[in-house]
A and B are shown apart, each in its own frame.
Chain A
Amino acid sequence: MKGLFIVSGLGILAMLAEIFKFKKLVYPLVLIGLIAAYAVNFTEWNFDWSQGNPYPLFANMIRFDNPALAFSGVILAVAFFWFIFANDYFKNETNITDHFALVLFTLTGALMLTAYQNMVTLFLGIEIMSIPLYVLAASRKNDMSSNEAGFKYLIMGSFATGFLLFGIALVYGATGTFDISLISAKIAAAHGALPIFCYAGILLMLVAMCFKVSAAPFHFWAPDVYQGSPTVITAFMSTIVKTAAFAAFMRLFLFGFGPAHDKWATGLSVIIALSLVISNITAAAQTSVKRMLAYSSISHAAFMLMAILANNGDMSVPPILYYTFAYSIGSITAFAILYAISKSEGHDGFDAFNGLGKRNPLIAACMVIAMLSLAGIPITAGFFAKYYIFTTLMATTYKWLLILAVLTSAVGVYYYFKVIIAMYFKSSAKSEAVAFDSTTTALVVITSLLTLAIGFVPNFIIDMLR
């Protein structure tokens, strides 16, 4: 909760900076603020909720329990890395304080989504997170594709929000409450005897959430928006926003609609299967690394959805937590490198990476770690991320999905390795090193080491919530 206060305070501070002219100070202040938020976030760890809510003002609509704090921790940590990666974005663009404020409010919404206890705060969180994102996607004002991305995102997003609201209304109509724990209890007590529009509401909310995490067939916006947005914003969307969306999805369906599992599971399993096939197969045909990463993020979403599909209550949470963190730091590494490469080479195709193994051996090594992790190759974090999801799903009747997941991730290995092949086996006309500033180099080295480290001691994160 305190982390949420700090981050929203930072957002307001960034807006004031424009008026009171301390723009230069905003960037360091944000970094310090995020560290502070991260630290205070964990002071609330293991709070005994039977003692009553320490923030009665919020009428039990927000509740920072351990899963919420863990996901907030992931979001804040990744946000810290992201700000370091994006330092250049905040230097070169105009209206930087606006951008700071927008990003920080998105973060505020993201933190809310980890901890909501009520469908109203869920809706608020999603909107607080989404609306600044529409603007950020279009933040390169003179770039047509950036404008197109923002516009597409807005229209599609509003459409999905409509379904979400409609779903909330229907569920409220059937159960008479917005509180997800009470809804859960009502659904369980009714033994399937609730009016049919309640289940329709749940399914509409499922669709809306699937849109937010870009699962097929509600994913069409994602490649276009990811491609058109500035690369740093794409990185932001595919890591922090995705983590928050998953935290929200998980909270709603595991702790709210868990008892109605039989009504939504079939639909979700089909969505997962479609996402796996479409994302991986389309990603294989891409020539742009950025677009490949966009499609692959759909595939990662499908993996995380599997843990929700398993509907294993508290046991489904640690695998998702681990996956979001492993995927986020791998993506931050990949995007940071891609950003510098595409700036220097002028495009973001696979051939922009040609000969990088010779030109920048250290950076290329970090990229290899990121690609291996995203592809789920052992000793990296990505392997254990998939492994824990698989073990969770293994106990259910959806073993066919596992087989599909393994087959499609084999396709995934193909397109991730295309980057590695370009770096080490293809030669480039240029032989001089691509310029990487020391901040980016330090960042990708740290995130790569982190990828290896949590792959070596996965239990460090998994055991947090046990």
Chain B
Amino acid sequence: MIKLIGLVPLFPLIGFLINGFIGKKLSKGVSGAIGSFSILASFVVSLLIFIELNGSAQKSHVVDLFSWISSGNLQVPFSFLVDPLSALFLLIITGIGFLIHVYSVGYMHEDEGFSRFFTYLNLFVFFMLLLVLGNNYLIMFVGWEGVGLCSYLLIGFWFKNTAYNNAAKKAFVINRIGDLGFLLGIILIFFTFNTISYGEVFKLANTGIAAQGTITAIALLLFIGAMGKSAQIPLYTWLPDAMAGPTPVSALIHAATMVTAGIYMIVRSNIFYSMSDVASETVAVVGAATALFAATIGMVQTDIKKVLAYSTVSQLGLMFLALGAGAYSSAVFHVATHAFFKALLFLGAGSVIHAMGGEQDIRKMGALKKALPVTFFTMAIGTIAISGIPPFSGFFSKDEILAHVYEENKLLWFIGSVTSMLTAFYMFRMFYLTFFGKFRGTHEQEHHLHESPKSMTVPLIVLAILAALGGVMGLPEFWGTHNWIADYLSPLIYRKNPSILSHETEWVLMGLAVAAAAVSIYTAYNVYRKNNILPAAKEEDMGGAERFVYHKYKVDEFYEAVITKPLNLISEAFYKFFDLKIVDGIVNGTGQAVNWFSELIRKLQTGNIGFYILAMVAGIVAILFTSLF
């Protein structure tokens, strides 16, 4: 079965081609079915491969498809790597991908771009699969760019809205900055090790032939790539804006899969980070800072999707904090549980938006519990899971991360813990404002309220079950239970540091975390449920500090003033002087010279045979004369 790994990306590609070329002629039912079932087929194959891999003793299989690029000493075969990490990501991508495709059939039903939506979505899954399956950095890069493209297309899916287009452009441009870092990293890897295939690179790196500085440089360059794709400070600003895309896109691309590509990449390249303390510390600090920073912004947002977006940035920060602390398997564990509950929350939010006729402001919702029972119940599970309440999935992954961070650095642990408290608070704030209290929308909206169709609620229920029970993947060792995911991933972690915490400490940390979450939830309950306090309805009513945070610390404005404006000024100057005068001058001058010259040579083509033969003879004489004498 592992030999058939090529089928996994093939199915979405076929779905993409069918929907892309003849999608417009198909009915919505057929188009949606092609889109969804191609992913289901991939999921089935992935599942079989996952089972086979678990049963076999060999944990890493390279499947060569064809020789792709060969130039000088750069040999890039197009080959796939099936190992525990890629197999797990395959399941997440195709499994959650399938649920979200099904959900989209209901969610996008009224949209005229229905088949186009599934075209992009299938293409996205194809590239995402390439990204995790490739056996070298170049294939990962192809997938990396491909998902970036699809993300751009899907954020700007409703392209008639200029603001949405700008959001798409912003995502694309900011990702480019990260991609440049990634590309430089790949070039440096090739330059250092003369290969870009994972196995060979890691083996060579492990022998220590590269200088410490080079390893650090590679790790940092790759991390810049990760910062872009996984929305870390300073490149995170695109992700909240990316919520312009349809909600299933936010769930699939901007929560569950694409944005975790950076984590995948660093786990894949874990050896560089294990070898470089500087790089690891950078990752940890950036992750912690992003986690805390985004969480504070999430506290005051009033758009339901924006709350979730900042929560995603914050959770991603937490994952990077884990990576920086060397807890690679914990980060992957959190990727998985986060994929479950965040996809669930986004889809639930989509269901709410659907019922509210497109309204996204939580100040105008309230009391939706009755009208949307399934959405309410499943979102409750998602909210509890992300807040870290046992025995829901988020509790286990978050606790494992915090325990590892505590070993490494107490301050970062404290930041992580505060972030978790804030998370519990703003998630329950959103939850209470949406589902409890009084309905605050228009009369018309209230009349229109309805539970979503089956195609939307069934994925919600499945995801809710996963979000509730997903923690069994990694039960803590100190409970005497088996941490499956840590064992599962251990073959590809090059340098492990064993846990040094005593069981008592771990119990205390866990107790603290649960207590902190409980306090947060109680506070949120007090404010938003019991006393029914609403966020300020207008900006003018906010306090100065609150307004500053509400405006996301004015980071966008800061970038605008410090980077965009000066760049525009410089490019304007260059355009007027360098481009118009010098470059155009040279180009036009050359063009004129060529034209003049060609008019001259053209005259040689007289049509007269006698002249042609004369020219030939002259040529022969010249060649004989110069070559022989």
Contact = CB atoms under 8 A, between A and B. Distances in A.
Contacts of B26: none
Contact of A282 (B71, B601, B615): B601
A203 B605 contact: no
Interface stretch (A75-83, A109-117, A218-226, A309-317): A218-226
Interface stretch (A100-108, A155-163, A426-434): A155-163
Given A207-B619, A281-B598, A457-B66, A224 B607 contact: yes
Given A267-B626, A459-B70, A285 B612 contact: no
A152 B609 CA distance: 7
B602 A196 contact: no
B627 interface: yes
Nearest to A387: B71
Contact of A285 (B595, B604, B619, B624): B595
A224 B605 contact: yes
Contacts of A282: 598, 601-602, 605
Contacts of A281: 594, 597-598, 601
B628 A218 contact: no
A155 B613 CA distance: 9
A203 B616 CA distance: 13
A51 B597 CA distance: 57
Interface in A133-169: 152, 155-156, 159-160, 163
Nearest to A281: B598
Contacts of A163: 620
A290 B67 CA distance: 38
By secondary structure, the B interface counts as: helix
B628 A196 contact: yes
Interface string A210-251: 010000011011011000000000000000000000000000
Given A282-B602, A282-B605, A284-B594, A207 B67 contact: no
A463 interface: yes
A270 B627 CA distance: 11
Identify which of B68, B612, B628 gathers the most chain A CB atoms within 10 Å of its CB: B612
Interface string A403-424: 0000000010010000000000
Instruction: Give the contact-size bracket for chain B.
Output: 20 to 34
Given A155-B609, A156-B613, A220-B615, A285 B627 contact: no
Nearest to A291: B605
B615 A217 contact: yes
B587 to A, nearest CB: 10
A267 B619 CA distance: 10
Contact of A220 (B72, B598, B612, B624): B612
A159 B609 CA distance: 11
B605 A411 contact: no
Given A217-B618, A220-B615, A199 B623 contact: no
A203 B615 CA distance: 16
B504 interface: no
Contacts of B70: 459
Interface string B572-600: 00000000000000000001001101110
Interface string A376-391: 0000000000000001
Interface string A252-286: 00000000000110110011000000100110110
Contacts of A459: 67-68, 70
A284 B591 CA distance: 10
Contacts of A152: 609, 612
B518 to A, nearest CB: 58
B626 A266 contact: yes
A220 B616 contact: yes
Contact of A264 (B597, B616, B627): B627
A119 interface: no
Nearest to B617: A159
B249 to A, nearest CB: 28
Interface string B52-92: 00000000000000111011100000000000000000000
A284 B596 CA distance: 11
Given A203-B628, A266-B627, A459-B67, A218 B616 contact: yes
A463 B626 contact: no
A425 B626 CA distance: 49
Contact of A267 (B604, B615, B623): B623
Identify which of B66, B599, B609, B613 gathers the most chain A CB atoms within 10 Å of its CB: B609
A207 B598 CA distance: 25
A172 B595 CA distance: 46
Contacts of B591: 414
A418 to B, nearest CB: 12
A267 B621 CA distance: 11
A284 B595 contact: yes
A204 interface: yes
A159 B628 contact: no
Contacts of B627: 199, 203, 263-264, 266-267
B616 A463 contact: no
B534 to A, nearest CB: 55
Contact of B599 (A218, A267, A285, A391): A285
A10 interface: no
A329 interface: no
Contacts of B613: 155-156, 159
A204 B70 CA distance: 39
B602 A285 contact: yes
Nearest to A163: B620
A262 to B, nearest CB: 9
A217 B619 contact: yes
A218 B598 CA distance: 18
A200 interface: yes
A206 interface: yes
Contacts of B68: 457, 459
B598 A159 contact: no
B142 to A, nearest CB: 12
A411 B593 CA distance: 12
Identify which of A156, A196, A267, A391 gathers the most chain B CB atoms within 10 Å of its CB: A267
Nearest to B615: A217
A315 B61 CA distance: 34
Identify which of B67, B72, B620, B626 gathers the most chain A CB atoms within 10 Å of its CB: B620
Nearest to B70: A459
A129 B214 CA distance: 61
Nearest to B601: A282
A46 B52 CA distance: 40
Nearest to A285: B598
Contacts of B67: 457, 459, 463
A141 to B, nearest CB: 21
A308 B628 CA distance: 20
B348 to A, nearest CB: 43
B230 to A, nearest CB: 29
Contacts of A457: 66-68
Given A263-B627, A285-B599, A211 B616 contact: yes
Contact of B601 (A204, A264, A278): A278
Contacts of A160: 616
A163 B605 CA distance: 23
Contacts of B605: 220, 223-224, 282
Contacts of A199: 627-628
Given A282-B602, A411-B594, A203 B607 contact: no
Interface in B306-361: none
23 contacts: A152-B612, A156-B609, A156-B616, A163-B620, A199-B627, A203-B628, A207-B620, A217-B616, A217-B619, A218-B615, A220-B605, A220-B611, A220-B616, A224-B605, A224-B607, A263-B628, A266-B626, A267-B627, A270-B623, A282-B605, A285-B599, A414-B591, A459-B67
Q: Which 4 A-B pairs have the closest CB atoms?
A: A285-B598, A220-B612, A267-B623, A217-B619
Interface of B: 66-68, 70-72, 591, 594-595, 597-599, 601-602, 604-605, 607, 609, 611-613, 615-616, 618-620, 623-624, 626-628
Interface of A: 152, 155-156, 159-160, 163, 196, 199-200, 203-204, 206-207, 211, 217-218, 220-221, 223-224, 263-264, 266-267, 270-271, 278, 281-282, 284-285, 391, 411, 414, 457, 459, 463
